[in-house]
Structure 1
Amino acid sequence: MENCTLLISTYNWPQAFDLCLQSVMKQSKLPKEIVVADDGSDEFTAEIIDKYRKLNKVPIKHIWHEDLGFRKSLIMNKAVKCVSYDYVIQIDGDVILDRNFIEDHLIVAERAAFVRGTRAHIREGHVKKMFLSAQTDFKFYSKGIKNRFNAVRWPLFSWLVSKKEFSGRSVRGCNMAFWKADFVRVNGYNNDLKGWGHEDEELATRLVNNGIIKKSIKFRCIQYHIFHPLASRELENVHDDVLFNVRRDKRIRCENGYENSLL
């Protein structure tokens, strides 16, 4: 695997997004393009994107729609429509990538599979210092890291502890990879899931129901999530019900998804 698109979701946190893109530009292997799925950020996010476009390292597409509340599913579908490459590595704009992140994902890519990665966390008390120093170089032993085991990169042993299973559980879009054709086949994200909660698991479950196996990776594909307050969980119970029905009925497509997302 040589070519991929890096898909980054973001919303109104340009300071974190800046460090995220900085870590992308330091990758041992760069993606062929970056597609930013922007759920209605203000002009400061666009300014960050322009700054990195001027580096001429990686083409960057900025897919934006009006801020009408949490509509991540819709903007992700719109962004995937603009993806140029067959393989998509998906992250959030509030993570810092280990310098081998893209290369690791390309190594573990496999047909008829999607990848679920894990993440370590940057503690709340370290965030201010990180922003002041523009720190993007983290290791498992770095100060301010939580869930350190998830930050251990050990490629020789990754194959032993990584596993495959037909389950969409515990999938997070902040560290996920898939084939665009598989995404399109299940009609992408469910646009009816508005607000926070389980949109990634719901997509992953339909992929599994369509015969695409989940490949959970350890000791590779490492990222560090920047602490922030939790989003509103107001609609989580509604999303739980949708996810339950997708599992129970073995649904392989959503009715309102990728095909219904107009740019």
Structure 2
Amino acid sequence: MRISVAVITYNWPQALGLVLRALARQTELPHEVIVTDDGSHDDTRQLLERVARDYPVRLVHLWQPDDGARMSRARNRAIAAAQGDYLVLLDGDMVAERHFIADHRAFARPGCFVQGSRVLTDEALTRRMICGELDQPGFFERGIERRRHTLRLPLVARLYARPGHKQRGIKSCNMGFWRDDLLRVNGFNEAMTGWGREDTELAIRAFHAGLSRRDVRFSALATHLYHPTRKCIVDNPNDRVVEDTRARNLVRCEMGVAAHLREFIAPPADLRSVGASAGAPIHA
């Protein structure tokens, strides 16, 4: 089972650097890390060129023009490009604990997707992490919320991982899917742009396809770096897409990952490779 990590990013190279460093220090390395970029400026590409020089696994940079928040499209391109059997979806501000990949492997089961958790940091603690003062906050660290998510207790984690179909608490910042399952439901719905709900809509279609959800608590830990939230949007049009998917019992979305499969018939370049166009990203 080869694990691909799809990291979505947008114009925060300082946070992305922490995320990539944490993935490079895993007790069990993934097969590859795909940074899927929703239109960042050139400083993100420059960061990836520096990181690639001694990165321990295959590193890919996919870039699309900045045309508003198109997270679904960015993630679909990563799904299409992935060489792994299993995808871990991770946001570019989520710093993984060193057992993160090993834990995701341990909880992967056929017929299921995995929903992970996160510990939240305040602005001051995020600055400390970006400055290199701290790799991961401990249970007693100041400046964190959801403190329990700093605890790695694998035996306890198994009690929470019973398959179910709960729709609350779906967060694509830390999720695991078999790639074949994502292809079966056509990935994320690209009709959904702007902030939020694309992950919930995907999960509902996964349930309609017969998949179950396994919650991973006290394992697969990650720290979410602080940034202002956009959850206060009123009358989000993406909510109506979610309700339509639920009402029509949809399994596949119309605008999804299938549109990108031809682009990646040949795998995208590994940034570590000599002559990979000086680390040029794969454009769309």
Q: TM-score, normalised by structure 2?
A: 0.88
Structure 2 portions without partners, runs of 5+: 264-283
Q: Secondary structure at the match of 1:165?
A: coil
2:69 is aligned to 70
Q: Distance in 1 between matches of 2:55 and 2:154?
A: 31
Q: Secondary structure at the match of 1:163?
A: coil
Q: Secondary structure at the match of 1:89?
A: strand
Identify the range of structure 1 (189-198 vs 152-161) with the bigger mean alpha-carbon deviation: 152-161
Identify the range of structure 1 (139-148 vs 181-190) with the bigger mean alpha-carbon deviation: 139-148
1:169·1:205 contact (CA, 8 Å) conserved in 2?
A: no
2:113 is aligned to 114
Q: Distance in 2 between matches of 1:167 and 1:252?
A: 17
1:197·1:235 contact (CA, 8 Å) conserved in 2?
A: no
1:220 is aligned to 219
Counterpart residue type for residue 63 of structure 2:
W
Q: Compared with structure 1, are the counterparts of its residues 199 and 57 closer, same or farther at alpha carbon in structure 2 (3 Å cutoff)?
A: same
Counterpart residue type for residue 24 of structure 2:
M
1:196·1:233 contact (CA, 8 Å) conserved in 2?
A: no
Cα-to-partner distance string for 1:106-161 (whole Å, 9 max, x where unaligned): 00000110000111111123222222235323322333221101221101211123
Cα-to-partner distance string for 1:175-209 (whole Å, 9 max, x where unaligned): 10001111011111111101011001101110111
Question: Does 2:64 correspond to 1:43?
Answer: no
1:96 is aligned to 95
2:24·2:55 contact (CA, 8 Å) conserved in 1?
A: no
Deviation, structure 1 residue 169:
3.2
Deviation, structure 1 residue 236:
5.6
Q: Secondary structure at the match of 1:133?
A: coil
Q: Secondary structure at the match of 2:87?
A: strand
Percent identity among equivalent residues?
33
Q: Distance in 1 between matches of 2:151 and 2:10?
A: 29
Instruction: Indicate the RMSD between aligned Cα atoms, in angstroms.
Output: 1.6
1:183 is aligned to 182
2:28 is aligned to 29
Q: Distance in 2 between matches of 1:244 and 1:180?
A: 25
Question: Does 2:56 correspond to 1:54?
Answer: no
Structure 1 portions without partners, runs of 5+: none
Q: TM-score, normalised by structure 1?
A: 0.94
Counterpart residue type for residue 171 of structure 1:
I
Deviation, structure 1 residue 78:
1.2
1:112·1:212 contact (CA, 8 Å) conserved in 2?
A: yes
Counterpart residue type for residue 38 of structure 2:
D
Q: Compared with structure 1, are the counterparts of its residues 134 and 54 closer, same or farther at alpha carbon in structure 2 (3 Å cutoff)?
A: farther
Q: Distance in 1 between matches of 2:78 and 2:198?
A: 16
Q: Compared with structure 1, are the counterparts of its residues 154 and 171 closer, same or farther at alpha carbon in structure 2 (3 Å cutoff)?
A: same
**Matching of residues 1-263 of structure 1 within 5 Å:** 2-133=1-132, 135-231=134-230, 234=233, 237-261=236-260, 263=284
2:38·2:66 contact (CA, 8 Å) conserved in 1?
A: yes
Q: Distance in 2 between matches of 1:51 and 1:65?
A: 20
Deviation, structure 1 residue 163:
2.9
Cα-to-partner distance string for 1:158-179 (whole Å, 9 max, x where unaligned): 1123332123432111110001
Q: Secondary structure at the match of 2:44?
A: helix
Q: Distance in 1 between matches of 2:86 and 2:235?
A: 30
1:206·1:251 contact (CA, 8 Å) conserved in 2?
A: yes
Deviation, structure 1 residue 233:
5.5
Aligned residue pair count = 262
